[in-house]
Amino acid sequence: MEAVTGRSVYGGIAIGKLSVLRREDTTVKRIRTEDYKAETERFHKARKDAKKELKVLYDKALKEVGSINAMIFEVHRMMLDDPDYVEAVENTIKSQKINAEYAVASTGDNYAEMFMGMEDEYMKERAADIKDISNRVIRVLQGKNSDGEGADTHVILLADDLAPSETVQLDKSKVLSFVTMGGSSNSHTAILARTMNIPALIGVDYREDFDGKLGIVDGYRGKLIVEPDEDTLKVYEKRMASDRERKRLLEELKGKETVSTGGQKVNLYANISGVSDVVTALQNDAEGIGLFRSEFLYLENNTYPTEEQQFGAYKSVVEGMAGRPVIIRTLDIGADKKADYFGLLHEENPAMGYRAIRICLDRPDMFKTQLRAILRASYYGKVSVMYPMIISVSEVQRAKNLMEEAREELSQKGIPFGKVNEGIMIETPAAVMISDLLAEEVDFFSIGTNDLSQYTLALDRQNAKLDAIYDPGHPAILRMIEMVVNNGHKHGCWVGICGELGADTSLTEKFLKMGVDELSVSPSYILPVRERVRNI
Percent of the chain with pLDDT over 90: 51
Exposure string for 152-185, b = 16+ CB within 10 A, e = fewer: eeebbbbbebbbbbbbbbbeeeebbbbbbeebbe
| Residue of 164 and 289 predicted with greater confidence | 289
- Residue 416 has a pLDDT of 96
Active site annotation includes 360: no
- Residue 73 has a pLDDT of 81
Most confident of 27-36, 82-91, 454-463: 82-91
Domains defined for the chain, CATH in brackets: 2-20+151-231 (3.50.30.10), 36-141 (1.10.274.10), 262-534 (3.20.20.60)
Positive/negative CA dihedral, 105, 111, 117, 120: negative
Give, in order, the Cα–Cα distances in Å from 145 to each of 70, 74, 97, 133: 21, 20, 27, 14
Residue 468 scores a pLDDT above 80: no
Contacts of 386 (CB under 8 A, 6+ apart): 327, 328, 329, 330, 422, 423, 424, 425, 444, 446
pLDDT one-digit tens code per residue, 411-428: 999 999 999 999 999 999
Q: What is the mean pLDDT of residues 153-181?
A: 75
Most confident of 11-25, 180-194, 209-223: 209-223
pLDDT one-digit tens code per residue, 249-305: 888 999 999 999 999 999 999 998 888 788 888 988 999 999 999 987 887 777 888
- Residue 532 has a pLDDT of 96
- Beta carbons within 10 angstroms of residue 115's beta carbon: 20
Residue 151 scores a pLDDT above 50: no
- Residue 470 has a pLDDT of 77
Residue 170 scores a pLDDT above 90: no
The Cα 515–Cα 326 span in angstroms is 22
- Residue 217 has a pLDDT of 94
The Cα 395–Cα 390 span in angstroms is 7
pLDDT one-digit tens code per residue, 333-363: 876 666 677 877 777 777 788 889 999 999 9
Q: What is the mean pLDDT of residues 450-471?
A: 79
> CA nearest 497: which of 319, 291, 311?
291
Give the confidence band of 115 by pLDDT, cuts at 50, 70, 90: confident
422 DSSP 8-state letter: E
271 DSSP 8-state letter: E
- Residue 459 has a pLDDT of 84
| Residue of 107 and 469 predicted with greater confidence | 107
Instruction: Please answer whether residues 258 and 266 qualify as being in contact, where contact means their C-beta atoms are separated by less than 8 angstroms.
Output: yes
- Residue 149 has a pLDDT of 43
How many residues are recorded in the chain?
536
| Residue of 180 and 439 predicted with greater confidence | 439
> CA nearest 166: which of 11, 26, 276, 57?
57
| Residue of 525 and 470 predicted with greater confidence | 525
- Beta carbons within 10 angstroms of residue 125's beta carbon: 17
Residue 514 scores a pLDDT above 70: yes
Instruction: Please answer whether residues 150 and 132 qualify as being in contact, where contact means their C-beta atoms are separated by less than 8 angstroms.
Output: no
Could you tell me the strand order of the sheet in which 214-218 lies?
Answer: 2-5, 223-226, 214-218, 13-20, 155-159, 175-180, 200-202, 7-10
Hey, is 482 helix, strand or coil? helix
DSSP string, 192-238: HHHHTT--EEES----GGGTTSEEEEETTTTEEEES--HHHHHHHHH
- Residue 190 has a pLDDT of 64
Beta bridge partners of 425: 446
Q: What is the mean pLDDT of residues 480-495?
A: 97
The Cα 385–Cα 90 span in angstroms is 48
- Beta carbons within 10 angstroms of residue 235's beta carbon: 13
Q: Which range has the worst mean pLDDT, 134-138, 193-197, 227-231, 269-273?
A: 193-197
Active site annotation includes 498: yes
Backbone angles phi, psi at 108, to 5 degrees: -60, -45
Give the confidence band of 434 by pLDDT, cuts at 50, 70, 90: very high
> CA nearest 532: which of 266, 242, 220?
266
| Residue of 125 and 188 predicted with greater confidence | 125
Q: Is 466 exposed, middle or buried (0-12, 13-18, 19+ CB in 10 A)?
A: middle
Residue 432 scores a pLDDT above 90: yes
Q: What is the mean pLDDT of residues 191-203?
A: 71
Catalytic position from the list 76, 154, 188, 474: 188
| Residue of 339 and 55 predicted with greater confidence | 55
pLDDT one-digit tens code per residue, 62-86: 766 566 667 778 888 888 988 889 9
- Residue 520 has a pLDDT of 96
The Cα 436–Cα 486 span in angstroms is 9
pLDDT one-digit tens code per residue, 300-330: 777 888 999 899 999 999 999 999 999 999 9
pLDDT one-digit tens code per residue, 378-392: 999 999 999 999 999
The Cα 201–Cα 219 span in angstroms is 7
Q: What is the dihedral of CA 324, 329, 330, 333, to 10 degrees?
A: -140
DSSP string, 238-270: HHHHHHHHHHHHHHTTTTS--B-TT--B-EEEE
Average model confidence (pLDDT) across the chain: 87
- Residue 440 has a pLDDT of 96
- Beta carbons within 10 angstroms of residue 526's beta carbon: 28
Q: What is the mean pLDDT of residues 458-478?
A: 79
- Residue 224 has a pLDDT of 95
Catalytic position from the list 76, 360, 493, 498: 498
